[in-house]
Amino acid sequence: MRTANPRTIVIWTLVALIGAAGWTVLALSRGEEVSAAWMVAAALGTYAIAYRFYAKFIAYKVLKVDRTRATPAERLNNGIDFHPTDRRVLLGHHFAAIAGAGPLVGPVLAAQMGYLPGTIWIIAGVVFAGAVQDMVVLFFSTRRDGRSLGQMAREEIGPFGGAAALVATFVIMIILLGVLALVIVNALAQSPWGTFSIAMTIPIALLMGFYLRVLRPGRVAEVSLIGVALLLLALVAGRWVAESSWADTFTLAPSTLVVWMVAYGFIASILPVWMLLAPRDYLSTFMKIGTIFLLALGVVVALPTLKMDAVTDFASRGDGPVFAGSLFPFVFITIACGALSGFHALISSGTTPKMIQKETQVRMIGYGSMLMESSVAVMALVAASIIDPGLYFAMNAPAGVIGDTVQNASQVVGSWGYQISPEALARAAENVEEASLLSRTGGAPTLAIGVSEIFSQVTGDGLRAFWYHFAIMFEALFILTALDAGTRVGRFMLQDMLGNVHRPFKNVSWKPGLVITSAIVCGLWGYFLWVGVHEPLGGINQLFPIFGISNQLLAAVALAVCTTLLVKSGRLKWAWITGVPLVWDATVTLTASYQKVFSSDPKVGFFKQRQVFQDAIDRGEVLPPAKSMDDMHTVVTNSTVDGVLTAVLALLIVVVIADATRVCVRHVRRPALSTLSEAPYVESKIIAPAGLFPTKEEKEEERLAVASASSESPASAP
């Protein structure tokens, strides 16, 4: 064991002080202007300490990562999907795979409760739950040749829990796709600029696909550069279109966009991967990494002032317009991906473990990437908190609540204690060249306003509208990619399930099966999208909590698998590492599910809502925000579907957790009954550092290895 030298102690004390100073200012300031710099300080200080101490403790004391043990990438190297990948490259791959719209949208919506609850959960959640989950799943999957979460659940917990996990994953995927699509519809509706530039991504991707397939196979970097250049051109051209006579063609109503979106999802998912999905993916990865980097730079350079309250009254009253329910449990549900995301477990078990060079790198790849994702969530929260709170609420409250004129909206938002004049609301829309910003729910438009605010503080006001649409394009791009990729994954699961009933479905390239299952998957998420767009109570308001609950429930499955594995692999003493986050996550999420199903507040409880509206229908009344009897029936149907869905999801997860607990208890009582499907030990021949920067010992080890093996094979990387 290395003893700490004085310099190290001084450095880490300073880091701790910076983090503590950030937290102190955030916690103590009320009613004064707080700079976003303190939020950044609190976040980065905490991440550094957590990575250095907690993650290291988990890696070496709990998981006991073994640098002499060969990973699947080394043992099963086939030069394609299994191959040892440089840790810095894999960090990029893994981060690009886990980062998406979730961490950008969730914190924006959670800002309704003020910036403080969100900040605390994003940072504490990632340190103790999210990053731990990602790292532990990555570790166990690496020990199992890159088995998927579902396979691990089946093998380690049992066929019953495994099947429940599989069905839950499928349902969660459908809800995810529906909600993400809804976010985009809300951002693009009535916006010719946005709609045109997003539509242009399709021909651009087709061109790139053709280039890579026919002209110059595999030249990804150059084709991505061409693609990004064309994308920026499409963005600039969007403004010309919006000002030309074509504007009407691209000014689409939400319901029209739904049809286009579902049609796109279906066609894209049955086209070959090379045509649309692969090139789109290159484009969105480029834009994703580039924009996140620019945003981080913008936040640090501009250091904007937070205008939102630290904690709003909605946190305790639970009657917020963005989503209903009180701080506990709903802030945790809403933030979702930036703090703890079940979906990451699907990446950490699957692609990444097949490429990791060394077990010791799980800390950097698993924990480190998730810290980066969390910092993206912090930036999204900053972006939502620096815009005028009056504008924030006018943008995020459903039209049924604030009406569709700026006068009305100004009045309603004013009654909540946030003053904004009708002129200011109209001007905000004009500044970004949109017809209106009222009820642009879903988080993406709000984030885009925040981003355009930050960027125009750096580049000047002239580019504000451009940055707004840049941010919309950036989100829409990878949400559309996710629709395509997600539909394929959902289809794959469905083919597998249907294959048990009708054999040919198992063959994934059987064309009729492919088309049928694609249509079913698109139909299912299309249904939620349709419902969301036509929901009188506000689609995001109704559906986002279900999305948050489902994502957190998937995290509960992942954490249950991790805890079971810790127990079964003789790490009972350390099972709290994932056990405590599991208990917390299950408590939060099941409480939220319970409230969503049984609450007697019609704003929160789906069945109470159904009852209130059904009683009104029986009396022949129309309750606001519904405008007609049709609306009333829509509300009743939707609340029933939403309530049943929430209950089913919660039940599935309770089954998984109960089954996992049974296996754990059995193992503790009679260890001989358990089986552990770990790949046998093979000695590793690869020498590679564990962290981003090699230590002195690692450099020495590498030097010696190169010297002794120089005749065998050339070094792979500079």
Partner 1 sequence: MLRSVRWYVRELTDESAYDRYVAHVRHGHPDAEVPSRRDFERMRTDRQEADPRQGFRCC
Residues that bind partner 1 (CB under 8 A): 77-81, 83, 85-86, 88-89, 92-93, 96-102, 148, 176, 180, 212-213, 217-221, 224, 272-274, 277-278, 281-282, 284, 336-337, 341, 343-344, 346-347, 350-351, 478, 481-482, 485-486, 488-489, 491-492, 508-509, 551, 713, 716-718
**Closest CB to partner 1 among residues 18, 176:** 176
In single-letter form, the type of residue at position 599 comes to: S
Listing DSSP states for 597-643 in one string gives: HH-SSTTT-HHHHHHHHHHHHHHT---TT--SHHHHHHHHHHHHHHH
**Closest CB to partner 1 among residues 148, 410:** 148
Tell me how far, at minimum, the Cβ of 423 lies from partner 1, in Å: 37
Tell me how far, at minimum, the Cβ of 53 lies from partner 1, in Å: 27
Of residues 404, 340, 328, 332, the one with CA closest to residue 374: 340
Token pair, residue 491, equals 């289809």
**Closest CB to partner 1 among residues 250, 505:** 505
**Closest CB to partner 1 among residues 102, 400:** 102
Token pair, residue 21, equals 């100073």
| CB contact at 8 A, 365 and 91 | yes
**Closest CB to partner 1 among residues 86, 313:** 86
3-state secondary structure 92-137: HHHHHHHCCCHHHHHHHHHHHHCHHHHHHHHHHHHHHHHHHHHHHH
Please name the residues in contact with 67: beta carbons below 8 A apart, sequence gap of 6 or more. 358, 359, 360, 684, 690
**Closest CB to partner 1 among residues 1, 214:** 214
**Closest CB to partner 1 among residues 274, 594:** 274
Tell me how far, at minimum, the Cβ of 103 lies from partner 1, in Å: 9
End-to-end CA distance of the chain: 31
**Closest CB to partner 1 among residues 216, 573:** 216
Tell me how far, at minimum, the Cβ of 555 lies from partner 1, in Å: 12
Tell me how far, at minimum, the Cβ of 215 lies from partner 1, in Å: 10
Buried b (16+ CB within 10 A) or exposed e, 550-588: bbbbbbbbbbbbbbbbbbbbebeebbebbbebbebbbeb
**Chain-centroid distance, C-alpha 31:** 31
- Burial class of residue 176 in the structure, from the number of CB atoms within 10 Å of its CB (0-12 exposed, 13-18 middle, 19+ buried): buried
**Closest CB to partner 1 among residues 462, 718:** 718
Q: How many Å apart are CA 407 and CA 426, to the nearest integer? A: 10
**Chain-centroid distance, C-alpha 151:** 23
Tell me how far, at minimum, the Cβ of 221 lies from partner 1, in Å: 5
Tell me how far, at minimum, the Cβ of 257 lies from partner 1, in Å: 20
Sign of CA dihedral 116, 118, 124, 127: negative
Tell me how far, at minimum, the Cβ of 100 lies from partner 1, in Å: 5
Tell me how far, at minimum, the Cβ of 180 lies from partner 1, in Å: 7
Tell me how far, at minimum, the Cβ of 273 lies from partner 1, in Å: 5
In single-letter form, the type of residue at position 267 comes to: I
Other beta carbons within 10 angstroms of residue 24's beta carbon come to 13
Tell me how far, at minimum, the Cβ of 112 lies from partner 1, in Å: 20
**Closest CB to partner 1 among residues 87, 667:** 87
- Write down the H helix ranges in 336-415: 343-348, 362, 369-385, 389-396, 399-402, 406-415
Buried b (16+ CB within 10 A) or exposed e, 689-702: bbbeeeeeebeebe
- Write down the H helix ranges in 29-62: 36-49, 56-57
**Closest CB to partner 1 among residues 170, 314:** 170
**Closest CB to partner 1 among residues 134, 359:** 134
Q: How many Å apart are CA 566 and CA 668, to the nearest integer? A: 12
Q: List, in sequence order, every residue forming a beta bridge with 341; answer none if it has no partner.
A: none
Q: How many Å apart are CA 103 and CA 339, to the nearest integer? A: 8
Of residues 234, 194, 135, 150, the one with CA closest to residue 479: 194
**Closest CB to partner 1 among residues 144, 568:** 144
**Closest CB to partner 1 among residues 69, 87:** 87
| CB contact at 8 A, 597 and 643 | yes
Tell me how far, at minimum, the Cβ of 492 lies from partner 1, in Å: 5
Q: How many Å apart are CA 563 and CA 537, to the nearest integer? A: 39
Structure-token match 């429940």, residue found: 164
Of residues 248, 268, 101, 114, the one with CA closest to residue 186: 101
In single-letter form, the type of residue at position 669 comes to: R
> Element (H or E) spanning 35, and its range?
strand 34-35
**Closest CB to partner 1 among residues 428, 540:** 540
Other beta carbons within 10 angstroms of residue 302's beta carbon come to 17
Tell me how far, at minimum, the Cβ of 717 lies from partner 1, in Å: 7
Tell me how far, at minimum, the Cβ of 122 lies from partner 1, in Å: 16
Tell me how far, at minimum, the Cβ of 10 lies from partner 1, in Å: 31
**Closest CB to partner 1 among residues 85, 639:** 85
Tell me how far, at minimum, the Cβ of 607 lies from partner 1, in Å: 28
